[in-house]
Amino acid sequence: MSKDNQPEQLLLRRVAIDTYRENVAYMHRECDFYRAEGFQALNKVEITVNGNGIFAVLNVVDDENIVKPNELGLSEQAFEQLGQQESHPVRVAQAEPPASMDAVRRKIRGERLTQDDFYAITEDIVRNRYSKMEMAAFLVSSGQTGLDREEILHLTRAMTQSGDRLDWHESLVVDKHCIGGIPGNRTTMLIVPIVAAHGMVMPKTSSRAITSPAGTADTMEVLCEVNLSPKKLHDVVRRHRACLAWGGTAKLAPADDILISVERPLGIDSQGQMVASILSKKLAAGSTHLLIDIPVGPTAKVRLMREALQLRKLFEYIGDRMGIHLEVIITDGSQPVGRGIGPVLEARDVLQVLQNDPLAPEDLRQKSLRLAGRILEFDPDVRGGYGYAIARDILESGRAWQKMQDLIHAQGEITEPPRVGQLSYEVCAVQDGVVTHIDNYILAKVARLAGAPIDKGAGVDMLKKVGDEVAKGEVLYRVHAEYRADYQFARSLTDQKSGYRIGTADEVSKTYMEF
Amino acid sequence: MSKDNQPEQLLLRRVAIDTYRENVAYMHRECDFYRAEGFQALNKVEITVNGNGIFAVLNVVDDENIVKPNELGLSEQAFEQLGQQESHPVRVAQAEPPASMDAVRRKIRGERLTQDDFYAITEDIVRNRYSKMEMAAFLVSSGQTGLDREEILHLTRAMTQSGDRLDWHESLVVDKHCIGGIPGNRTTMLIVPIVAAHGMVMPKTSSRAITSPAGTADTMEVLCEVNLSPKKLHDVVRRHRACLAWGGTAKLAPADDILISVERPLGIDSQGQMVASILSKKLAAGSTHLLIDIPVGPTAKVRLMREALQLRKLFEYIGDRMGIHLEVIITDGSQPVGRGIGPVLEARDVLQVLQNDPLAPEDLRQKSLRLAGRILEFDPDVRGGYGYAIARDILESGRAWQKMQDLIHAQGEITEPPRVGQLSYEVCAVQDGVVTHIDNYILAKVARLAGAPIDKGAGVDMLKKVGDEVAKGEVLYRVHAEYRADYQFARSLTDQKSGYRIGTADEVSKTYMEF
C-alpha cells in the first residue's frame, strides 16, 4: 500500500494492438491492486497521470506476455493519447459515463437539445470519452427525423468548432463536395487544376476511402504525396493557389472523423448528420464558396429527386446561417463515372482527361467541366453561363494539365507509381443486348473485395457503360487484384452477380438531368 | 498460393484476452494472406472452419508475441464459440453486416417491424453477429416510444424463443421479479423458502449483479453453490420444490443477456425492452405464475406513480398474451431495503429474518412477507387476503429457515463463507435531526466502488434509515472494502456526498403505498 493513501499505481505498457478509434486498456485478471472484472462490467475506466486522463474500454487479460499483474496496457491509439513513456506509473479508476451522455439520453427520450448540449457532446467525443456504442446511441437518436433544422445548425456549429480552423486571408476560397456513393467519380482531381489555373484559391483537402473503393486522397496518392504537414500545405497553396491533399493532418472538425468511424459500418446516414458533417469540415477548412454535388439514381445514396431537393434545402438553410456561399447541383448518379474504380485505375482516367487523350472517358470529362464551370462562376468577373466554356478552354489548352503537374511536383512526385494489380479476370456478358443498368453498390463492392483502396492497383476497369451494345461473351469489366485471397473474394461475388443488367435499348432509363 | 484456388488459411490461436461479450479477432499487420487494415475499416470479419463461422471485430496487431503473420487470434469468448483447437486452419473473409440490420435501419427510419423481423434480429444477436454498436443502434431505435405494444409482444416472443425453455411438468410454477434499482432489496431469498415450505414449486434462477452492488445469485453464493448444472438444478427442485441458483448455466432467453451488456453501460432502459426482457426470461424458465415488484421513489428506476401504472398495464398486456398469470405490486422504493448493501451484508440481513432474530431489519421482513403472501394466493386453496398470515406463520415457525437450510445443503454449502471486508470507515451525521432522504443511487455506488459484488465482503452497512433521529457525529453507515484502492474510490465519493439528507421530522416524505 502506498504511504500517501492514494490508490496504487500500475506501470504503463504499450500493447501493440490497433483497436481502430476505440481506446482499449488491458489489465491482468490477477492485477496487483485493482479488481479487473469489477471494472469490466462497467465498461470503461479512466487512466490518469498527474491529473491528465484518458478513457478506455477495459479488457481482462490472462497472459503475462500481454500485460503483467502490475501493469496497465494501452492499445496503440490510447497509448499515444496519454502521451507518456512505458513504465510510467498510472492510476486507474472507474470512469463516469461522459457528462454529455445525459443529453443523449434526453435525445433518446425525444427531447430537443440546445446549442450547449451539442458543444458538450462534440467536446466529449473529440476527447475520446465516448465508446463506440455511446456514439452509436447518439447517432441513432439524432438520425433521421431525430434532429430539427435548428438542432442540425447547432450540431454543425459544434462540429465546426471541435477542432482547428484554417484562414487563407482571401475573400474567395472555393471548394466542392460530392455526397458520395458513386464509384469512379473522381471529378475533384480535374476541377481543382481547372479552377486554380483560372486563378481561384482552392485548397482541397480530401478524405481517404472508408467504405468506398477509393477517395480523392487515395487516388492522388498514386501520383504524389498527399500527407502534407500544415506548413507544406500552406506553402503549396500560396505558390499554386491550390492543393490536393489528405485532410487528416489538419485537425478540422475532428468530431466528424470519429463519428464517421461508427456511422459507416452501421450504414446509417441521415440528412442532418450528413449536412452537419460536410459543412463543418468545409467551414473549418476556411472555404467561403462551396459547390455541393448530389448524385441521384436507383443505386445512389439519394434515390429520388424529391429527397435530393429536400437535402438541397437543408444544405441551403444551414449554409446561409453559417455564412458560407453555397450552391447545390443535382447530377446523374445512375451508374459509376469514368471507367476505372480503384486508385490506380481512377488516376489513369483523370490523366487521360487532363492530357486530352481521345480515349478519355467522356462522362468524367463532361461532369468535371460542368462542375468546374459552376465554381468558376463564383468569380464575380465571370458572367453567368460562361463558366463551362472557360473551363473547357482551360482543359483543352493544356493549362489544367500544367497546373496538375505543378501540384504534383510541389506536393512531391511519386517516382515509382503503383501499377494495376497483376491478378485479373474478366466478367462477360451472358447474352446479347444493351447495358440497361449498372449497380453502383455491387461495382464498388467488387473493387473493394479485390483490395481497393489499400492495394492501389486493385479495382474494376469497366469496358461497357449504360447504353452500350454488347454481344454474348463480350467483356463487361475486368477485375484487378494484387493478392490471391482478394482475387477470390471478388470472384465469389461476381460469380453470383455481375452488377450489370442487359436488356433492350428502350429499357435504358433516362438520365437524371443536372440543374 | 493454395492449389485449390481457395482463399489461404491462417492458423487459429487463442489470445488470452477477455473482451466481455464482444468477439474480437487479432490479425498481424503483415499478415501472410490478408490485408489486415482493409478488413479493419469494415469493422467485422467472418472466421470459418469447414463452413461453420463466427463474426468478430478485427484488431490489427504489430507484436508477434500476440499473433504471428500466419496466425489468426481470437479473444477467449470468440475462441470458445468457434470451438476448435489451436493451430486449426481457419479462413477469414469480410463479414456482411447481419441481414437483420436492414430491419434495424427500418426501425431507425421509424417503421414498424414484424414478428419475423424480431425473430431475425434475436437470432443474429444470439449468434453473436452483432457488434456492440449494432446492438446499441437496435436498442436506441427500439427504445422509449420506438416500439408499440404489438412490437413489444413480438420482441418478447422472439426473445423467449431465442434459447432453451424449461418445462417443470407442473401446473403451477411460481416466480417473482423486481425491476430493480433498490439496494439491499433481497426479498427473493426469503420468499423462495417461505413459498416452497408451503409446497409450491419455485425454481428460482437469478442473475448476478451487472451494475448493482449485489444480485440474488451473488448473495446466495455467500452461503452455498449457485452455479448448478441443469441436472443438479432439476434434482434440487424435485426434492425441495425450489432452488436459488444462478441462471447463467441454462440458456434461457440468451438474446436478453447479450443486449443487457450494452443496455446497462449505456444507461438506457425503456419500458418495452424491460418488459420483453423480464417476461422472456420467466417464460423460458417455465413459470406459469409471476409476481412483478415495481418500486417507486425519487431515486428508484420508476419515479412517478403514473409511470408505474403505465408499466403495470404493459406487463399485464404482454403477460396475458403470452399466457402467463401475472400480477404486479407497486412498492416503496424511496430508500434501500434492509441494512446491508453487498453480498455478505445482505446475506446477514436475510439470515437474521429467517432466524427470527429480534435485530432483523423489519422493512425487509415486512416486504418479503407481503410479496410471499401474494404468491401464496396463486394457490387456489389459499383464500384471498390470507397469504400474508400464512407466510408469517411459515417464517415464525422456523419452517422457512429449515427450508433454506435444505436448499443450502442441497446446492452445496460453502464451508468457509466470506466475511465482511476488513478495511472500513464510518460516514457520520454532520448535524442533529431526522434522516429525511437516502439516495439509492449514491448508496449503491458507494457499495460498488468499495468492491461489491466481486468482493463479497465489500459494501455498505446502514445504521440509520429514513425517519431515524440522529445526533451530529452519529454513524449513518459503515463502508467495508477488501482492497485499498476500492476503499479509496468509495471514500473519495462519500467525502463529497453521503447520500443522506438530514432535516426535520415533517420533511420525511410519506411512503408510497403498496397496492
From its phi and psi, is residue A216 left (phi > 0), alpha (psi between -120 and 50) or beta?
A: alpha
C-alpha to C-alpha distance for A28 and B303, rounded to whole angstroms: 40
Q: Helix or strand or coil: residue B26?
A: strand
**pLDDT over 70 at A262, yes or no:** yes
The grid coordinates of residue A359 equal 480515349
Average confidence score pLDDT of chain B = 92
What residues of chain A lie within 8 A of the CB of B454, using their CB? 35, 37-38
Nearest CA in chain B to A17: B61
Residues B447, B459: contact at Cβ < 8 Å? yes
Cα A132 from Cα A266, distance rounded (Å): 11
**Average pLDDT, stretch A440-465?**
95
3-state class (DSSP) for residue B169: coil
Predicted pLDDT at A515: 42
Query: CB A267 to CB B101 under 8 A?
Result: yes
A-chain CB neighbours of B97 within 8 Å are 265, 267
Query: Which backbone phi and psi does A457 adopt, to 5 degrees?
Result: -85, -5
Residue B245 and residue B217: Cα distance in Å, rounded?
6
CA distance B205 to B244: 6
Residue B515 confidence (pLDDT) above 50: no
Predicted pLDDT at A29: 92
Cβ-based contacts of B65 with chain A (< 8 Å): 65-66
Residue type, A461: D
The 10 Å CB-count burial string (b at 16+, else e) for A383-413 is eeeebbebbbebbeeebbbebbbbbbebbee
Q: At B190, is the secondary structure helix, strand, or coil? A: helix
C-alpha cell at B267: 444507461
In one letter, which amino acid is B401? W
Task: Kindly list the distances between the CA atom of residue B82 and the CA atoms of B32, B50, B79, B100, in Å, as whole numbers in the listed order.
Answer: 22, 11, 5, 22
* pLDDT digits 0-9 by tens, B178-218: 998 999 999 999 999 999 999 999 999 998 887 789 999 99
Residue-level pLDDT at B419: 96
Specify the pLDDT at position A224: 97
CB contact under 8 A, A61 and B18: yes
Q: What angle do CA A446, A448, A450 make, to 5 degrees?
A: 70
Gap between the Cα atoms of B373 and B223, Å rounded: 25
- Written as one letter, the residue type at B488 is Q
Q: Are the C-beta atoms of residues B338 and B184 closer than 8 Å to each other?
A: yes
Share of chain A above pLDDT 90, in %: 78
Catalytic site positions of A: 269
Contact (CB, 8 A) for B481 and B423 = yes
Subunit contact B16:A489, Cβ cutoff 8 A: no
Q: Is the dihedral of CA A349, A352, A354, A358 positive or negative?
A: negative
What chain B residue is nearest to A92 in terms of C-alpha separation? B485
Picking from B233, B331, B333, B334, the residue whose alpha carbon sits closest to that of residue B286 is B233
Cβ–Cβ below 8 Å for A110 and B145: yes
Q: What is the distance between the alpha carbons of residues A496 and A477, in angstroms, rounded to a whole number?
A: 15
A-chain residues within 8 Å CB-CB of B75?
59
Longest Cα–Cα distance of chain B, Å, equals: 86
The whole-angstrom separation of Cα A336 and Cα A332 is: 10
Q: pLDDT digits over B47-84, tens only?
A: 999 888 899 989 999 999 999 999 999 999 899 999 99
Contacts of A489 (CB under 8 A, 6+ apart): A449, A450, B7, B93, B94
Q: Which residues of A touch B86 (CB under 8 A)?
A: none
Which residues have CB under 8 Å from B375's CB, separation 6+? B174, B176, B191, B195, B200, B202, B289, B291, B387
Best of A133, A208, A487 to mutate (most B CBs within 10 Å, chain B):
A133
Residue A514: per-residue pLDDT: 47
Cα dist from A239 to A246, A379, B333, whole Å: 18, 20, 71
Using an 8 Å Cβ cutoff, are B135 and B253 in contact? Answer: no
- Where do we find the cell 454543425? A156
The pLDDT tens digits of the residues spanning B133-189 come to 899 999 999 887 779 999 999 999 999 999 999 999 999 999 999 998 999 999 999
What is the pLDDT, as a whole number, of residue A21? Answer: 74
pLDDT at residue A513 tops 70: no
Handedness of CA B319, B325, B331, B333 (dihedral sign): negative
Q: At what angle do helices A399-411 and A343-354 cross, to 10 degrees?
A: 140
B268 and A108 in contact by Cβ < 8 A?
A: yes
Q: Is it the case that residue B435 has pLDDT exceeding 70? A: yes
Query: At A358, is the pLDDT very low, low, confident or very high (cuts 50, 70, 90)?
Result: very high
| A-B contacts (CB, under 8 Å) | 192
Structural contact between residues A26 and B17, judged by C-beta atoms closer than 8 angstroms: yes
Q: Which residue of B has its CA nearest to A60?
A: B18
Per-residue pLDDT tens digits for A94-146: 887 889 999 999 998 889 999 999 999 999 999 888 988 899 999 999 887 77
Model pTM? Answer: 0.87
Catalytic residues of B: 269
Burial classification of residue A199, based on how many CB atoms lie within 10 Å of its CB (0-12 exposed, 13-18 middle, 19 or more buried): exposed
Tell whether the model's pLDDT for residue A361 goes beyond 90.
Answer: yes
What is the distance between the alpha carbons of residues B264 and B241, in angstroms, rounded to a whole number?
A: 33
For residues A13 and A16, what is the distance between their CA atoms, to the nearest angstrom?
9
Beta strands in B260-359 (DSSP E): 289-296, 325-332, 340-341
Mean of the pLDDT values across residues A469-497?
95
Residue B173 DSSP label = B
- 3-state SS, residue B58: strand
**DSSP structural state of residue A415:** S
Q: What is the pLDDT of residues A290-320, one digit of tens each?
A: 999 999 999 999 999 999 999 999 999 999 9
Q: Which domains does chain A have, with CATH numbers?
A: 10-94 (2.40.40.20), 101-160 (1.20.970.10), 174-250+285-411 (3.40.1030.10), 423-507 (3.90.1170.30)
**pLDDT given at position B40:** 66
Q: Which residue of B has its CA nearest to A487?
A: B7
Which 3 state secondary structure label does DSSP give A124?
helix
pLDDT for A258: 87
Instruction: Give, for A480, the enclosing helix (H) or strand (E).
Output: strand A475-481
Kindly tell me if the per-residue pLDDT of A203 is higher than 70.
Answer: yes
pLDDT at A43: 67
Cross-chain CB nearest to B38 (options A17, A140, A451): A451
Q: What is the pLDDT of residue B357?
A: 98
- Does residue B1 carry a pLDDT above 50? no
**Contact call for A143 and B108, based on CB within 8 A:** yes
Give the DSSP letter of residue A11.
E
At A228-260, the pLDDT tens digits run 998 999 999 999 999 999 987 778 888 988 888
Indicate the residue of B5, B268, B485 with minimum beta-carbon distance to A7: B485
- Mapped onto helix, strand or coil, the DSSP state of residue A479 is strand
Burial of residue A270 (number of CB atoms within 10 Å: 0-12, 13-18, 19+): buried
Rounded average pLDDT over B337-354? 98
Tell me the C-alpha distance between A228 and A246, whole Å. 7
Check residue A427 and give its pLDDT.
98
Residue A20 to residue B40, Cβ atoms within 8 A? yes
Q: What is the CA radius of gyration of chain A?
A: 25
Q: Is the pLDDT of residue B277 over 60?
A: yes
Residue for grid cell 426473445: B159
Residue B235 exposed, middle or buried by CB count within 10 Å (0-12, 13-18, 19+): middle
Helix (H, G, I), strand (E, B) or coil at A422: coil
User: Rounded CA gap, A52 and A83, in Å?
Assistant: 10
Task: Please return the burial class of A232, using the count of CB atoms within 10 Å of its CB with bins 0-12, 13-18 and 19+.
Answer: middle
Question: Is residue B35 over pLDDT 80?
Answer: no
- Please write down the long-range contacts of A443-447, taking CB distance under 8 Å and 24 or more positions apart: A443/A183, A443/A336, A443/A341, A443/A477, A443/A499, A444/A183, A444/A212, A444/A213, A444/A336, A444/A341, A445/A493, A446/A341, A446/A479, A446/A490, A446/A493, A446/A494, A446/A499, A447/A183, A447/A213, A447/A214, A447/A341, A447/A342, A447/A479, A447/A490
Instruction: Assign A511 a pLDDT band (cuts: 50, 70, 90).
Output: low
ipTM for the predicted complex: 0.83
Q: Rounded to an integer, what distance in angstroms lies between the CA atom of residue A460 and that of residue A209?
A: 16
Q: pLDDT tens digits for B486-511?
A: 999 999 999 999 999 999 988 887 65
DSSP B505: G
Cα B454 from Cα B452, distance rounded (Å)? 5
Query: In chain A, which residues have their Cβ closer than 8 Å to the Cβ of B486?
Result: 35
Burial of A65 (0-12, 13-18, 19+ CB in 10 A): exposed
Q: Give the pLDDT confidence score for residue A1 in this predicted structure.
A: 38
pLDDT, mean of residues B477-481: 98
Q: Tell me whether residues A8 and B140 touch, CB distance under 8 A.
A: no
Pairing mode of beta strands A24-28, A500-503: unpaired
DSSP string, A178-245: E----TT--THHHHHHHHHHTT-BEEEEEPPPSSSS--HHHHHTTTB-----HHHHHHHHHHHSEEEE
Cα–Cα distance measured from residue B415 to residue B425, given in angstroms and rounded to the nearest whole number: 28
Chain B contact probe: residue of A76, A104, A141 with most B CBs at under 10 A: A141
Instruction: Determine the residue type at A239.
Output: R
Region B11-25: what's the mean pLDDT? 91
Mean pLDDT of A452-471: 96
Tell whether the model's pLDDT for residue B283 goes beyond 80: yes
- Cβ contact A484–B1 (<8 Å): yes
